[in-house]
Chains A and B, each alone.
Chain A
Amino acid sequence: QVKLQESGPGLVEPSETLSLTCTVSGYSIISRDYYWGWIRQSPGTGLEWIGSIHHSGGTYYNPSLKSRVTMSLDTSKNQFSLKLTSLTAADTAVFYCARGTGSWNFDHWGQGTLVTVSS
């Protein structure tokens, strides 16, 4: 059974960098069949795709966030990570990690972690 779990700080100060990790169990992140993605949801609003990373390390980012986003894999721990720089209050959101398929849908999701940007 595939499970994903986000971890990271719940509170980050403005202008700082957010670092989140997603730990995957029940499936290897180096499988050729899937991508690994991050999606966020600001309070009371819809979903926003942040980016996806392939098992090869290839990355795909939302053009509106591309200048601030970096994703990476840690295959030894079966984890993937997100870094988002230059945070503002507008980045306050629930961040989800998810497994993405070859047809660019997300079939397994973590429970989500709330990140608040505030001083």
Chain B
Amino acid sequence: QSALTQPPSASGSPGQSVTISCTGSSSDVGAYNSVSWYQQHPGKAPKVMIYEVSKRPSGVPDRFSGSKSGNTASLTVSGLQAEDEADYYCSSFAGNNNYVVFGGGTKLAVL
């Protein structure tokens, strides 16, 4: 059960869009629509930003969107703002043993 693969870093200027990828396998990301994305600011608990691939919880700005193609899921942040600078983690259900796998995280910098 390997962790999902994310780029270690991403960046963009205020107002721009940035996309973070999350690559898994046919046993997790590719098999289930249970992909989630979490935002974590330093010293804080993670906060879910996207669930079930593309759904946004109440209160999450519509600048955040999610998608999936095959074994790769993506998080897009449009209209970047300073407060979007944080670590982002993807996760997926992996049904073979009923477990959850996280990505290694991507540090998003707003330049």
Contacts and interface: CB of A to CB of B under 8 A. Distances in A.
B61 interface: no
B104 A46 contact: yes
Given A52-B100, A63-B97, A107 B45 contact: no
A48 B34 CA distance: 17
Size range of the chain A interface in the assembly? 20 to 34
A47 B38 CA distance: 10
Interface stretch (A15-23, A75-83, A109-117): A109-117
Nearest to B92: A104
A112 B52 CA distance: 24
A46 B99 contact: no
Contacts of B105: 45-47
Interface string A94-119: 00100001011111011110000000
A107 B49 CA distance: 9
Contacts of B46: 39, 47, 96, 106, 109
A101 B93 CA distance: 11
B93 A104 contact: yes
A60 B33 CA distance: 19
Given A101-B51, A112-B45, A61 B99 contact: yes
B48 interface: yes
Contacts of A112: 45
A49 B103 contact: no
A45 B104 CA distance: 8
A48 B102 CA distance: 6
Contact of A104 (B89, B100, B104): B100
B3 interface: yes
B59 to A, nearest CB: 11
Given A60-B99, A110-B45, 10 more contacts: A47-B46, A49-B101, A49-B102, A63-B97, A101-B51, A103-B34, A104-B93, A106-B48, A107-B51, A109-B47
Interface of A: 37, 39, 45-49, 52, 60-64, 96, 101, 103-107, 109-112
Question: Which 7 pairs from chain A and chain B are nearest by CB?
Answer: A105-B36, A104-B93, A109-B45, A49-B100, A105-B51, A46-B105, A47-B102
